[in-house]
Every structure is written in structure tokens, then in C-alpha cells.
Structure 1
Amino acid sequence: MDDEEARTRLLDAAEELFYAHGIQAVGMDRIRAASGVPLKRLYRLFPAKDALVTAYLERRDQRWTAGLREAVAAGPDDPVAAVFDWLAGWFSEPDFRGCAFLNAYGELGEGPAGVLDVVRRHKAELRSLLAGLTPGSPVLTDQLLILVEGATAVAALSPGPEPAHRARAAAEALLAAAAR
């Protein structure tokens, strides 16, 4: 196994375990066992748990944001509806446990700077994506962001598509009011 395969295995194990059980509840030995990567190599690739958490969140951000961008691009007639439809699908996944970035921040707070930076960049990227759907209306952008984040928080407690459907209806009402 080369370093690239070891890194992928470690990130796969970290994502599954951190997202399902929480960052603080999962130790490096558990990640080592789940990945099959020897502990010495794990610490050579990720010298500290913070480095692994940061890499896990960076990779998750890239995939999550790319998935949302693809959904928006595929729904050019109503890109805002595409956002909430994509969220409905995500909320319906069997392993859905809310926003990994807010979960990490909730656990670690102002903790490791690298982790906090990834969380802030992720939220800024989400806001930027929504701003592209509401050009010239920062208030509407912020309202949509609150709807996305709120729906995600509600779905974490009650998984399934309904929070996204309700948020979509609220977004449609906001857009209609803004168009008047």
C-alpha cells in the first residue's frame, strides 16, 4: 500500500467514524483499525489528530460543495429550488447526521485553527453559491443561507426530506416577495 492509498483509507475511515460518532469520541487507534493502515504510517501522514480532522473536513467540503454546485447547474430553470431538492436527497440518506462542519465546530469550538478555518471557508463558499443565485441582494442571500442551515439542523434531529421541502416553500415565498 502506497501513501496515496493509505491516505484515502484513513480519510474514508475518519469520515465514516467522525461523522457517525463525533470527533472527540473517535480515537486514532480506532481509525487505524478501521482503515487497516499501520499506526506508524498514520502518524507519518497525519502527525496529529487535528491534521486528520482538517483533511477530512477539507475533502468533505470539496465533495459536498461540488455535489450542490452540480445540482444547481442541472436545474438552471429554478436553481434555488435545485438547492432545496438536493438537500432533500441528502437529508434522506441513511447515514445523514447533519452538517459535518457545524458538528465539528460544536464539538471543538474555537479549537484547532485548521479545523475552524475549514468550517469558515465551507460556510463562506455556501454563502457565495447562494449569492450567485440572488445577485445584488445580500439580504435575500442571507435569508436563503438561514433557510439552508436551519433545514439542515432540523433534519439532523428528524432525518428525511420534509425540512428541505418546508425550507423550499419558505424560499419560494421570499423570492416571490422580493420580485414584487
Structure 2
Amino acid sequence: MMIKISAGLERAFATGGFHEPSVEDLRDAAGVSLRTLYKYVPSRDDMVHAALEYRNGRYLEHVFQDLPKAPEEALETILERVAKWMETEASHGCLFHEAVAASPKDVRLRELLMRHKSEFACKAAKAVGMRHAQLELMLILEGLMQNWPLFHEAALEASKRLGLALLRAD
């Protein structure tokens, strides 16, 4: 039941932002009664967290499932999958950043954002054999995500050049 609710909440926040959807909109998106919604996620803050936790799992699976073993191929695949995600799931930018922007004083949201970004960076660095350059790799990936809405394929190609240069300099 929690997966169904979280998936619906993710869709609602991804399409309507974090201020616009009413509790009734969130209930409808989750496909449950108001009583069931509050049983599993007792507050709007909990609804945001449940949606983002669900999104984190989907995103990590999308990017890291069945990567090639060769570091250069793995890096290119990661970047291409991030671009594909941006194209199909996040045309306005990172939903985690959007959530923090909507509630900048929410410490739990900031911690969730940091955990999401750290987990992603760690997995990416491990997949391409660059654990010592985790921050540098994360800056390239974040640059792709932040610039995708403006530059699309050009952002992907620039990210590939930077990522491969970093990998080869290693």
C-alpha cells in the first residue's frame, strides 16, 4: 500500500509542485481514501518525504541498473541515463532541489537532499572507479541536471567530455 501511495504522491508533486496540490489532490493521486492516506503518511511533510524516498529509489534503479563494467562505458551510460531521466521525468529540474526551495527551513528535507545526492555520487564514483573524485564527478552530474532544461543534448555532450577528461586524467 505504501508503494502505491508514494508513487501517487511523487506524480502529484512532480506535476503540481510542492505548494499547489491540495490534500484532496494528493489523496486522489495516491488512489486511496483520506483516512488511508493519513494512516500511512500523517502529515503533508511526511507525504513529501514519502514521495521523495520513492523517487530516489526509482532514480537510482534507472541510472545504475545493469551498467557496463568498463569505466568509460559506465560513465557514458550513467550520463545518458541521467539525461533520459531529465527528458522524461524531470523536465523542470531536480525534484529534491525543488522541495528544498519550497521549504528552505525544513532540516529533514535538506538532510534527505544531501543523502540522495551523496548516495548518487557514491554509486556513480564506484561504478566508474573514481571514488577519490566523487565530488568532481558529482559536479559534472549536477551540472548536467541543472543545465538540461536549457541545453538538452548539448549539456549531455559537454558532460561526457568533462567526465571522460576527468576519468582519463586519473
TM-score normalized by the length of structure 2: 0.85
- Cα distance, 1:95 vs structure 2: 5.7
Distance 2:48 2:41 in 1: 9
Distance 2:34 2:96 in 1: 26
* Residue in structure 2 matching 1:161, options 153, 162, 166: 153
Q: Look up the match of 2:43.
A: 48
Letter paired with 1:129: K
Task: Assess, with a 3 A threshold, how the Cα gap between structure 1 residues 48 and 149 changes in structure 2: closer, same or farther.
Answer: same
Q: Look up the match of 1:128.
A: 122
Q: Look up the match of 1:82.
A: 77
Structure 2, unpaired ranges of 5+: none
How big is the alpha-carbon RMSD for the aligned residues of Structure 1 and Structure 2? 2.1
Letter paired with 2:18: I
- Cα distance, 1:162 vs structure 2: 3.1
Distance 1:159 1:37 in 2: 39
Letter paired with 2:156: A
Task: Assess, with a 3 A threshold, how the Cα gap between structure 1 residues 11 and 150 changes in structure 2: closer, same or farther.
Answer: same
Give the fraction of aligned pairs with identical amino acids, expressed as a percent.
22
Q: Look up the match of 2:101.
A: 106
Structure 1, unpaired ranges of 5+: none
Task: Assess, with a 3 A threshold, how the Cα gap between structure 1 residues 18 and 27 changes in structure 2: closer, same or farther.
Answer: same
- Cα distance, 1:112 vs structure 2: 5.1
Task: Assess, with a 3 A threshold, how the Cα gap between structure 1 residues 175 and 112 changes in structure 2: closer, same or farther.
Answer: closer
CA contact (8 A) 2:83 2:144 kept: no
Residue correspondences, number:
167
1:29 aligns with 2:29: no
State the secondary structure of the residue aligned to 1:158: helix
- Cα distance, 1:107 vs structure 2: 1.6
CA contact (8 A) 2:9 2:26 kept: yes
Distance 1:55 1:159 in 2: 31
1:97 aligns with 2:92: yes
